[in-house]
Structure 1
Amino acid sequence: YGVVGVHHVGILCQNLERSLHFYQNILEGLCINEARPHHKLPYRGAWLWVGSEMIHLMELPNPDPLLGRPEHGGRDRHACIAIRDVDVLKQILDEAGICYTMSRSGRPAIFTRDPDANALEFTQI
């Protein structure tokens, strides 16, 4: 026994293709882990590499309300992804028309939501 890190974060989605477009094309650089085939599970999904960890997209009904979530993702459940340059991500999100908020602590971090209203933080390291 001994905690050694985070292996993956599970994220629910309504439409796998729409989510894959967001995570692979808008965010760029997240590729499918072909070593984790999904055909053995009773629902559609995909494993995406984020550095040495993964996001597990699962096409399942979401038990959480999509409306009424806090505008600022830092006040909601969220996963945080380390990035090199917050300003580059701001430009990508602006060009894609995706809303975001900056960290309220003043540190270089952006909060946004994926197409299914899952909150994501991107912090510059």
Structure 2
Amino acid sequence: MNITRCLHVALLVSDLERSQHFYESVLGLEKIDRDLRFPGAWYEVAGFQIHLMVASNSQGGLDNPEKWGRNRHIAFSVASLEAAKERLLAQNCPLQMSASGRAALFTQDPDGNVIELGEL
């Protein structure tokens, strides 16, 4: 086997409209077309896709509430960590700075999926 590229991650959400608001208005991602018959929304960042799929019985939550980075998460690079932090705080999003001391923070979408934002 020779894996050449990562294509997408699928995240379970309970309320598609609420999740779309977070991914579009808070994170600033652009939705892409999808031709499927089940509820969801697709986003693409630099050739990598994020698939939101509705699962009304989704049980989010943190396995490690003290250190969000030690939970399942998706990571994005940002141009300015300070600008990202200000935007999240302005939207009343939860956030936790990286415990490692590096330029990164963690937030959660409305279903508790952890998102890492790092300045590389």
Partner in structure 2 of residue 8 of structure 1:
8
Cα offset for 1:61?
3.4
Partner in structure 2 of residue 31 of structure 1:
30
Matching of residue 94 in structure 1 with residue 93 in structure 2: no
Change (3 A) 1:54 1:15: same
Partner in structure 1 of residue 111 of structure 2:
116
* Number of corresponding residues: 120
Cα offset for 1:44?
0.5
- When normalised by structure 2's length, the TM-score is 0.90
RMSD: 1.8
Query: Structure 1 residues 70-79 or 47-56, which shifts more?
Result: 70-79
- When normalised by structure 1's length, the TM-score is 0.86
Unaligned runs of 5+ in 1: none
Change (3 A) 1:114 1:65: closer
Partner in structure 2 of residue 22 of structure 1:
22
CA distance in structure 2 between the partners assigned to 1:53 and 1:7 by the alignment = 5
Cα deviation, 1:83-117, whole Å, max 9, x if unaligned, reads 11111100001111111011111111110100000
Cα offset for 1:69?
5.4
CA distance in structure 1 between the partners assigned to 2:27 and 2:54 by the alignment = 19
CA distance in structure 2 between the partners assigned to 1:6 and 1:70 by the alignment = 28
Matching of residue 105 in structure 1 with residue 104 in structure 2: no
Matching of residue 75 in structure 1 with residue 75 in structure 2: no
Provide runs of 4+ in structure 1 moved above 3 Å: 61-69
Identity within the alignment, %? 37
